[in-house]
Amino acid sequence: MDVQQKLDVLGAGAQTDLACGSCGEGQVRVRDEVGRWIYPAVRPDGKLIRMLKILQTNACEKDCYYCATRRQRDQPRATFQPDELARLFDQIHRARLAEALFISSGVVGGGTRTLERMLATAELVRHKYGFRGYLHLKLMPGAEPAAIERALQLADRVSVNLEAPSSEHLAKLSSTKRYTEELLAPLQIAKRLIDNNPALRHKTMTTQFVVGAADETDREIVARTAQLYRELQLARVYYSAFQPVENTPLEDHAPTPLLREHRLYQTDFLLRKYGFSFDELIFDARGNLSIEADPKTVWAVNHPEFFPVEVNRASREQLLRVPGLGPVSVRRILQLRRTQKFRTIEQLARIGADEKRAAPFILLDGRVPARQLALGL
């Protein structure tokens, strides 16, 4: 294969990985052959960037039952040599098509050897081509500490896709991956390295779950997520609704509704941005989040003793519990109420709050705004 053909095969192979923070389809996707694999992505500081997402190789010795790249599946295989991929990215970067790079890989010869080939690419990108921009490296299953340390030195962010919330669930997705020793361990090693070396303190980690393929519950995913945030200080957890791939063992498994993925992201926000703990979240009898209502509204409806919240006096923490108010609108409320009183529902709408969702749960200067809405005021 020539470089363009490899780019096509190995760009396609990387497209389902979300742990790099890419937003999928978006306005800054470039419409040429290279640009098909360049994605809008969010840098840790919140800046939107264009990222080339690519595999070093799509050969793989693992057998993940949901994966198009799994070892038994008949499909074109390709491998970038480190200098080939580094040169390609340098050309893309110099052409101003992308300013960030995400490298993942199928596993060939074990996790450490695979990661070492990715590191060879990263070394060239950094030191031969002088790239100083954003680099995200996937840590391979079972990679050894020295390779993980080098990855942290070269990359801004590293990730391991746990895919499932426990070893029992992972066993339903792969016979060749070990949860604790191969997937959790690299994250734990990276955390220790970051904690013990001030030069690595700004490096961050993420992971991804494939949702619904192992018949796990939302409670199990969210419990693991909360633990990862608490114990490993992961920057983000990503959720990917399972979609069956032809000619894989899970091709007949039902796809996961995107709304389930959405509810997990909403719950994740409650953990990271709204001060909720795992114990406060409400799951149904089967251990799943409500599909009908968002998790914050479910909590509010189940805690009538907490409401109504007086917008002009409530603390930040209380305001963040109100459906329809988010961190940005709460910050604006706290700023504006130093100089003015909130008396009408329109004032909340003007600062970007979802006033209709908030109305049943608040007081505005002692009054129930739900009545304003009912009367069309």
Given the rule CB under 6 A, which residues bind ligand SF4?
Answer: 60, 62, 64, 67, 69-70, 106-107
Residue whose entry in the numeric block shows the structure tokens 């409806």:
301
Which residue stretches of the chain are H helix?
Answer: 3-14, 82-94, 111-123, 145-154, 167-170, 185-196, 218-232, 258-273, 295-301, 316-320, 327-336, 345-350, 355-358, 369-375
Given the structure tokens 């009908």, which residue do they identify?
Answer: 292
Which of 217, 288, 210, 207 is CA-nearest to residue 244?
210
For residue 49, the cross-strand partners are 41
Q: Provide φ and ψ at 74, rounded to 5°.
A: -80, 110
Cβ-Cβ contacts under 8 Å for 323 (sequence gap 6 or more): 294, 296, 297, 300, 354, 357, 358, 361
Q: Are 211 and 281 in contact (CB under 8 A)?
A: no
Phi, psi angles (nearest 5°) of residue 140: -80, 155
Listed in sequence order, the residues at least 6 apart from 303 whose beta carbon sits closer than 8 Å to its beta carbon are none
210-236 in b/e burial notation, b at 16+ Cβ within 10 A? Answer: bbbbbebbbbbbbbbbbebbeebebbb
- Tokens representing 162? 């746990």
Nearer to ligand SF4, 70 or 150 (CB): 70
Q: CA 356, CA 372: separation in Å to the nearest integer? A: 10
CB of 107 to ligand SF4, least distance (A): 5
**28, 190, 186: which is closest to 111 by C-alpha?**
186
Specify whether the CB–CB gap between 113 and 144 falls below 8 A: no
Residue closer to ligand SF4, measured from CB, 172 or 262? 172
Shortest Cβ 65–ligand SF4 spacing (Å)? 9
Q: Least distance in Å: CB of 210 to ligand SF4? A: 9
